[in-house]
């Protein structure tokens, strides 16, 4: 593998400490990193190399150094260097350039650089232009890659503008837009489940599937992130990126090969096929909600409007549920229901495929279940796995049918260590594999779908924001979305095979 310097802009920030350095360290321990590897932290605060190493490594509560090998810890820490600059001042990048040249000498990294923007979004267009002003964008000596974190824009216009400004200095194949859901094994496994098995794909279409549900629930409230969250809301924070990526994996056509461009081409196509929800139809297809305070056990839990940094008249949604259709041959007429929210009963993300009933019902009188006895549940997190539900005969006279399930849990693969999403994605960018990164065109396409919804909410204040108590499954009115179909939400628990039988708080 090529040697590389991993340059983190915003290196003293939360993401670097919580995710990036721990992921790089795990990769280092697992011997996945190239021999010639170093990290350069860049931000405005003044640190020496040693003070930086202490902050992000030795004192980090996200890295367990207790039982480790002290020699290896030291060897890793010594590869962490630091440089303070005014990140928005182009002249200061001369310092970055000479520091990188110095490090190239020491670590033999041959001018291969990854620039990771872990900064506030207003710097996303600025840093690439400053790098370009010093020739640090050009892959002529070594290669240069740029990684950016979400948000990729705030709406369609800003996303298009951001892509445009990034592409002025870096080509699309140098740009890696990170979406940590794509680093989750279970999101990647959607492709394997579909395309490595002969049994699912023949059923994966309008002829056999009645509807699809996706639930993305978090039990945590917004807490101290109110300042950020109030400008975002569930649709921007979770749906436009993470959930649309899951939808694309679930619904795309088979790619012609398992490589970045073939997979990303198919994802783009299916995102283009999602039927837009027109501004005037938003109340019919989209429900938004906001959690209200409640008492759980002995604790009084704040409602969203009481959270720090949230205006007391905020109309930002902490919950969103939508119904939409995909207008192509495979999915014509199949409704998709997706919901995402904070302060719900448990933390869970799962996909539920409900298959159509058999064409002729023989055992109608004796059935104990109504509709949804043929379901495939794909658990993204936690208790990652698959559950297939179907009807079986109850022993004894007659034909009484009972619901049973076959389940697979990732934990059964005991000898496999599952890498965290960041470990997987950082290793991919080091190797130059963009398959699990979002391409600019599909990011714009996802914004194109959510744009009329955001516009409607902004332009029509009479569209309701429904309250729901902390710890409930969201506004009751959500059932209105599916009133014309036989559909009920599966309310999952943290364990894959239990559902709806109790609520966890």
Can you give the binding site for ligand BG6, defined by CB under 6 A? 218, 237
Query: What are the tokens at 126?
Result: 């600025």
Taking the C-alpha atoms of residue 434 and residue 179, their distance in angstroms, rounded to an integer, is 12
Catalytic residue among 134, 180, 211, 242: 242
Residue nearer to ligand BG6 on the CB measure, 309 or 432: 309
Least distance between ligand BG6 and beta carbon 455 (Å): 22
Least distance between ligand BG6 and beta carbon 151 (Å): 9
Q: Which helix (H) or strand (E) holds 113?
A: strand 113-117
Residue nearer to ligand BG6 on the CB measure, 18 or 330: 18
Residue number closest to ligand BG6, CB atom = 237
Residue nearer to ligand BG6 on the CB measure, 23 or 85: 23
Least distance between ligand BG6 and beta carbon 459 (Å): 25
Question: 391 with 367: CB under 8 angstroms?
Answer: yes
Distance from chain centroid for Cα 160: 20
Q: Which residue has the tokens 């049973």?
A: 404
Distance from chain centroid for Cα 212: 19
Q: Which residues of 418-445 are buried (b: 16+ CB within 10 A; e: fewer)?
A: ebbbbbbbbbbbbebebbbbbbbbbbbb
* 409 catalytic residue (yes or no): no
Question: 497 with 405: CB under 8 angstroms?
Answer: yes
Residue nearer to ligand BG6 on the CB measure, 136 or 425: 425
Least distance between ligand BG6 and beta carbon 218 (Å): 6
Taking the C-alpha atoms of residue 345 and residue 400, their distance in angstroms, rounded to an integer, is 34
Residue nearer to ligand BG6 on the CB measure, 218 or 423: 218
Residue nearer to ligand BG6 on the CB measure, 237 or 423: 237
Residue nearer to ligand BG6 on the CB measure, 237 or 444: 237
Question: 182 with 436: CB under 8 angstroms?
Answer: yes
Question: 293 with 470: CB under 8 angstroms?
Answer: yes
Least distance between ligand BG6 and beta carbon 160 (Å): 21
Bridge partners (DSSP) of residue 143 are none
Q: Which residues of 112-130 are buried (b: 16+ CB within 10 A; e: fewer)?
A: bbbbbbbbebebbebbbbb
Q: Which residue has the tokens 């409602």?
A: 303
Question: 8 with 40: CB under 8 angstroms?
Answer: yes
Least distance between ligand BG6 and beta carbon 97 (Å): 32
Least distance between ligand BG6 and beta carbon 329 (Å): 32
Could you tell me whether strands 299-301 and 294-296 are parallel, antiparallel, or unpaired per DSSP bridges?
antiparallel
Least distance between ligand BG6 and beta carbon 188 (Å): 14
Strands in 465-469's sheet, in edge-to-edge order, are: 401-409, 385-393, 375-381, 348-355, 209-217, 336-341, 319-324, 286-292, 465-469
Residue nearer to ligand BG6 on the CB measure, 382 or 405: 382
Radius of gyration of the chain (CA): 24
What is the SS3 assignment for 492? strand
Taking the C-alpha atoms of residue 241 and residue 97, their distance in angstroms, rounded to an integer, is 33
**Active site positions, annotated:** 242
């Amino acid at each position: 593998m090529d040697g590389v310097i991993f340059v983190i802009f915003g290196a003293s920030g939360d993401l670097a400490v919580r995710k990036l350095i721990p992921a790089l360290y795990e990769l280092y321990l697992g011997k996945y990193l190239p021999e010639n590897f170093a990290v350069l932290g860049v931000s405005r605060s003044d640190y020496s190399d040693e003070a930086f190493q202490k902050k992000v490594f030795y004192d980090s509560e996200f890295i367990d150094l207790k039982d480790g090998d002290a020699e290896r810890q030291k060897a890793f820490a010594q590869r962490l260097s630091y440089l303070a600059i005014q990140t928005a001042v182009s002249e200061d990048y001369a310092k970055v350039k000479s520091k990188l040249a110095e490090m190239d000498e020491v670590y033999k990294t041959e001018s291969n650089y990854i620039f990771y923007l872990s900064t506030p979004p207003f710097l996303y267009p600025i840093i690439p232009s400053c790098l370009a002003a010093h020739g640090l964008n050009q892959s002529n000596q070594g290669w240069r890659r740029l990684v950016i974190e979400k948000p990729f824009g705030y709406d369609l216009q800003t996303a298009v503008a951001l892509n445009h400004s990034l592409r002025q200095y870096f080509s699309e194949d140098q740009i890696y837009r990170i979406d940590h859901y794509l680093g989750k094994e279970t999101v990647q496994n959607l492709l394997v489940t579909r395309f490595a098995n002969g049994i699912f794909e023949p059923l994966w279409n309008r002829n056999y599937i009645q509807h699809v549900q996706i639930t993305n629930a978090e039990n945590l409230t917004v807490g101290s992130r109110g300042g950020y969250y109030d400008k975002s809301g569930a649709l921007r924070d979770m749906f436009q990126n993470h959930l649309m990526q899951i939808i694309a994996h679930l619904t795309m056509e088979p790619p012609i090969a398992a490589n970045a461009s073939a997979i990303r081409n198919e994802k783009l196509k299916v995102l283009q096929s999602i039927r837009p929800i027109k501004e005037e139809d938003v109340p019919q297809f989209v429900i938004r909600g906001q959690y209200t305070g409640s008492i759980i056990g002995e604790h009084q839990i704040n409602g969203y409007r009481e959270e720090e940094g949230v205006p007391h008249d905020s109309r930002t949604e902490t919950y969103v549920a939508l119904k939409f259709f995909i207008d192509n041959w495979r999915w014509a007429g199949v409704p998709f229901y997706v919901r995402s929210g904070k302060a719900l009963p448990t933390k869970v993300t799962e996909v539920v495929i409900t298959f159509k009933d058999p064409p002729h019902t023989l055992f109608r009188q004796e059935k104990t279940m109504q509709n949804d006895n043929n379901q495939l549940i794909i658990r993204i997190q936690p208790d990652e796995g698959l559950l297939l539900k179907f009807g079986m005969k109850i022993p004894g006279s007659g034909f009484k049918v009972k619901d049973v399930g076959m389940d697979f849990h990732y934990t059964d693969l005991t000898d496999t260590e599952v890498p965290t999403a960041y470990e997987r994605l950082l290793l991919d960018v080091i190797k130059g594999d963009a398959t699990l990164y979002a391409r600019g065109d599909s990011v714009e396409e996802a914004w194109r779908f959510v744009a009329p919804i955001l516009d409607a909410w902004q332009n029509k204040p009479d569209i309701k924001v429904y309250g729901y108590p902390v710890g409930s499954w969201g506004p009751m009115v959500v059932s209105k979305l599916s009133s014309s179909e036989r559909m009920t939400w599966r309310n999952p628990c943290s364990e894959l095979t239990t559902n709806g039988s109790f609520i966890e708080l």
